[in-house]
Amino acid sequence: MATDSAKRYEVRLSGSGGQGLMLAGKLLAEAASVYDGKNVVQTQSYGPEARGGKSKSDVVISDDEIDYPKATTVDVLLAMTQASLDEYVSSLREDGILIVDSYLVERVERAGAIKIPFTMLAIEQCGRKLFANVVALGAVAEATGVVTPDALRRAVLARVPKGTESVNEKALEVGREAVRQSAGGGRRG
């Protein structure tokens, strides 16, 4: 994962265009940089697939200067669809953390994956699948400890539309609790 004193942590949030993963990447980056004081680079890729095809948002977080802005071998991969898992799983370190939306991902061939039905949890506990990205973001933070819960909450509240603050806070907590309740739950890395 990270090396010696200069800790570099690479996170890839992947799924389908329209699932809110570009926003989730920005929220994670802002939590780490603005509220946790880390050095951060966030990039995204969606090209012509902006609505429906594969998309990804990479966030590189470091205690030290970031000399290369792209994720090369990711420490954690969030896969919100089967297509994104199939496309990006090879970029995950051998000892990396794989988190998948078990509602949309049917086949996971990697042992130790954290499988949580983010989309279903968003519908059932937050009222709309629109919140699946924030549920997943809460899970990523809980599973990795890459940002503090308060930093993530503050970043989310600074960006979400007025009137949705409480449901977004709930979505973060739903994701965090899902990791704590999962068989492989708890913080890794």
Q: What is the pLDDT of residue 1?
A: 41
Residue 34: CB atoms within 10 Å: 14
- Can you give the pTM of this predicted structure? 0.91
Report whether pLDDT(53) > 80: no
Q: What is the mean pLDDT of residues 34-40?
A: 97
Q: What is the pLDDT of residues 59-85, one digit of tens each?
A: 999 999 999 889 989 999 999 999 999
Comparing 5-9, 120-124, 125-129, 148-152, the range with the smallest average pLDDT is 5-9
Q: What would the CATH number be for the domain defined by 8-116+144-160?
A: 3.40.920.10
Going by pLDDT thresholds of 50, 70 and 90, the confidence category of residue 45 is confident
Residue pair 79/89 in contact by the 8 Å Cβ criterion: yes
- Output the six-digit token pair for 9: 């942590």
Closest CA to 1 of 93, 100, 88, 114: 93
Q: What is the mean pLDDT of residues 2-7?
A: 49
Q: What is the pLDDT of residue 46?
A: 66
Q: Is 56 helix (H, G, I), strand (E, B) or coil?
A: strand
Q: What is the mean pLDDT of residues 157-170?
A: 96
Comparing 3-12, 15-24, 44-53, 144-153, the range with the smallest average pLDDT is 44-53
Residue 42 CB partners (closer than 8 Å, separation 6+): 25, 26, 28, 29, 57, 58, 59, 60
